[in-house]
Amino acid sequence: MSNVVEVGDIRDWQGLSVVDATGSKIGSLEGVYFDTSTDQPAFASVKRGVPAKLVFVPLAGATVSPKQVRVTTDKKTAKDAPAIDTDGELTSELEPTVYSHYGLTYERGATGERRLGRR
């Protein structure tokens, strides 16, 4: 098992379980958002709840295995994270809120571009 989240690999995990460090299921992996300054995976959008919403969970320190993606964020923190509708999009106005929810510093790019991009 690798500690590095490989970009090509993680997109293959769409629909699989995302769990916290204790193994509690947060939801199902819906998408991956990349840091536009480093081109590295930064957040996963995770489908959870009824009615379903997408919450954003940091991928720093995540590990992958054949059946799940394990993240370092606990289930409660993820559950309380900023959310969008399943057919919605992460707006540039919501990006700083996602970062601050997890205590992360948010900075726009040098020319004011968005920090996160989805592939």
- Residue 117: inside a domain, yes or no? no
Those residues with Cβ within 8 angstroms of residue 82's Cβ, 6 or more apart along the chain or in another chain: 55, 56, 94, 97, 98, 101
User: Region 70-99: what's the mean pLDDT?
Assistant: 94
Q: What is the mean pLDDT of residues 94-98?
A: 96
Q: How many domains does the chain have?
A: 1
Q: Is there a domain that residue 1 lies in?
A: no
| pLDDT given for residue 64 in this prediction | 85
The parent domain of residue 99 ranges over 7-106
Tell me: the pLDDT tens digits for 26-54?
Answer: 999 999 999 988 888 899 999 998 889 99
**Could you give the CA distance from residue 97 to residue 102 in angstroms, rounded to a whole number?**
9
Summarize the confidence of residues 50-67 as an average pLDDT: 91
Once rounded to an integer, what is the mean pLDDT over residues 51-77? 93
Residue 118 placed within a domain: no
Residue 119 lies in a domain: no
- Asked whether the whole model's pTM tops 0.95, one would answer no
What's the CATH number where 39 sits?
A: 2.30.30.240
